[in-house]
Amino acid sequence: MPSLFLLSLLFPVTATAAGPKEVTPASSEARPFTKIFSNFSVQLGLDAAGPVYFKDTADGRLEELSVFQYGGHLNLMFGNTFSDRHRLGLGFFFAPTAVSENRNLSYMAPYLVYETGSDWILQLEAGYNLTSASKDLEKQYEGAYLGTGISYVFLKPSPESPIYLSLGLKGRAIVNLDQPEYSSMFVGLQLELTYQTVKP
């Protein structure tokens, strides 16, 4: 009997010492990929970039283009930045790129976008660049569009607001397969505001 009494005291003490099992909040775990389509976010970005490579057209030698890219982009993303490890979406980029006294050139590109990360966000984009330009500039600068960027979320969403801000570096390349010498590349900064349809 004394031994049974001692055992009955021992087991409750052991269970209490172990304590309750820690439960990880569901929101901190990545959801299955198929769940990203249950909600979406809208991203509005401002972009400014300088040319790493840009070739003026031959007939522009007497009137040199001033080249600097500034503009913006709009992305519709499926998934939640802080719940989904992988996110997909569609985007559109527009930026005046070069100008002279009688000529002008703007880039505009629809694209697919893949995104991963939360505090640090990596974006990969692929699409096709069209141009809005003077007649002698239109075709030379069209081609495959590739973009990549990395940004940091410095203003995070809260229970009161589903909006966050990020700042980062962005690189864009236009590849002209018919006339490779007229391909171009730009690197610069992007500031992005994101509105999520669900709060974190």
86-145 tens-digit pLDDT: 899 999 999 999 998 888 999 999 999 999 988 899 999 999 999 988 876 778 899 999
Is residue 140 one of the residues assigned to a domain? yes
Is residue 176 one of the residues assigned to a domain? yes
Is residue 126 one of the residues assigned to a domain? yes
3-class SS shares of the chain: helix, strand, coil, % to 5: 20, 55, 30
Phi, psi of 8 (to 5 degrees): -65, -30
Looking up tokens 């087991």 gives 11
Cα–Cα distance measured from residue 37 to residue 54, given in angstroms and rounded to the nearest whole number: 39
Is residue 178 one of the residues assigned to a domain? yes
Q: 1: how many CB neighbours lie within 10 A of its CB? A: 5
Total count of domains within the chain:
1
pLDDT, position 24: 35
Cα–Cα distance measured from residue 97 to residue 106, given in angstroms and rounded to the nearest whole number: 5
pLDDT, position 49: 97
Is residue 76 one of the residues assigned to a domain? yes
Query: Could you read off the pLDDT of 33-73 as tens digits, one per residue?
Result: 667 777 889 999 999 999 999 998 876 556 788 999 999 99
Is residue 28 one of the residues assigned to a domain? no
Query: DSSP 3-state assignment of 90?
Result: strand
Is residue 69 one of the residues assigned to a domain? yes
pTM of the model: 0.78
Cα–Cα distance measured from residue 186 to residue 68, given in angstroms and rounded to the nearest whole number: 9
> Looking at residue 162, which CATH number applies to its domain?
2.40.160.20
Q: Which domain holds residue 159?
A: 38-196
pLDDT, position 184: 96
Contact 81, 118 (CB under 8 A): yes
Query: Could you read off the pLDDT of 76-87 as tens digits, one per residue?
Result: 999 888 778 889
